[in-house]
Amino acid sequence: MNTWSLYDYLPSGNGYKCRLAMHQLEKPFQLVQKDIMAGMSRTPEFLAKNPNGRIPVLDLGDGRCLAESNAILLFVAEGSRLLPSDSWERAQVYQWLFFEQYSHEPNVATPRFWLHSLPEDKIDKGLLAKKQDLGRAALGVMDRHLASRPFFVGERYSIADIALYAYTHVADEGGLELTPFPAIRRWLGRVKEQPRHVPITYSGPFGA
Ligand SMILES: N[C@@H](CCC(=O)N[C@@H](CS)C(=O)NCC(=O)O)C(=O)O
């Protein structure tokens, strides 16, 4: 079997989703770190793997490359305990993956990226505050859902939890305090207790 490679940037929550899921599913892969701040995801070689110029990219080693973190999650989790086979439960997983990309990631991850990676004078404070408000709204949706259930779908840990955990657990780094969201805080603890959990800073070995 070909060796899988994940092109990634360690601080990225989108990359972390894939690292965490593949490690928990005991799927070995090589981590190829790309410094996106130095333009390494915009080189001709990288654009041949993902024309959108963004990490994470899963390279299957046989000429096939897959981009988009949630597509990678769905691919690696197929047939596993992390992706329900029941069509209704699976549709709910899709619901939360799409929510994550449209309502959560752009408003929870982006403030963190701006505050940590941009020089102070490059940050539009008004836009940052708007994003943070939308981020709090997304966290509110999650908190209400989790108030009466342990995990997002079907009472079991799934890739829906992994996708939403990635940026939620570091939301405070974007100025989004989790104190007002008690159900989220309890859920973060449950996710962290799952077998083979690794932190966002973990750089390998993976799958072993
Ligand atoms: N929707 C994509 C977003 C990927 C993304 O925004 N990647 C960022 C890092 S988290 C990136 O590679 N940025 C580098 C660039 O835009 O040049 C996913 O979920 O994978």
- Asked whether the beta carbons of 168 and 184 are under 8 A apart, the reply is yes
- Average pLDDT in the 69-86 region? 98
- Residue 55 CA, closest ligand 1 atom number: 12
Query: Tell me: the pLDDT tens digits for 83-110?
Result: 999 999 999 999 999 999 999 999 999 9
- Model confidence pLDDT, tens digit, residues 160-188: 999 999 999 999 999 999 999 999 999 99
**10-14, 38-42, 115-119, 138-142: lowest mean pLDDT where?**
115-119
pLDDT in tens, 25-59: 999 999 999 999 999 999 999 999 999 999 999 99
CA atoms 15, 60, 45, 74: torsion sign: negative
Separation of CA 55 and ligand 1 centre (Å)? 5
Extract the tokens encoding 177: 């305090």
Contact 178, 185 (CB under 8 A): yes
Average pLDDT, stretch 129-147? 98
Q: What's the chain's average pLDDT?
A: 97
With tokens 């060796």, the residue in question is: 3
Asked if residue 58 has its Cβ within 6 Å of ligand 1, the reply is no
Check if 55 has its Cβ closer than 6 Å to any atom of ligand 1. yes
Q: What is the pLDDT of residue 157?
A: 98
How far is Cα 83 from Cα 202, in angstroms, rounded to an integer? Answer: 24
What pLDDT does residue 97 have?
98
Q: What is the 11 CA–ligand 1 centroid distance (Å)?
A: 11
Nearest ligand 1 atom to alpha carbon 52: 16
Q: What is the mean pLDDT of residues 100-129?
A: 97
The pLDDT-based confidence of 1 (bands split at 50, 70, 90) is confident
Q: How far is the CA of 100 from the centre of ligand 1 (A)?
A: 14
**CA nearest to 18, candidates 65, 72, 74, 54:** 72
Tell me which amino acid residue 171 is: A
- Interval 68-95 mean pLDDT: 98
The pLDDT, as a whole number, for residue 27 is: 98
Q: What is the pTM of this model?
A: 0.98
Q: Closest residue (by CA) to atom 1 of ligand 1?
A: 68
Residue whose CA is at the smallest distance from ligand 1 atom 15? 54
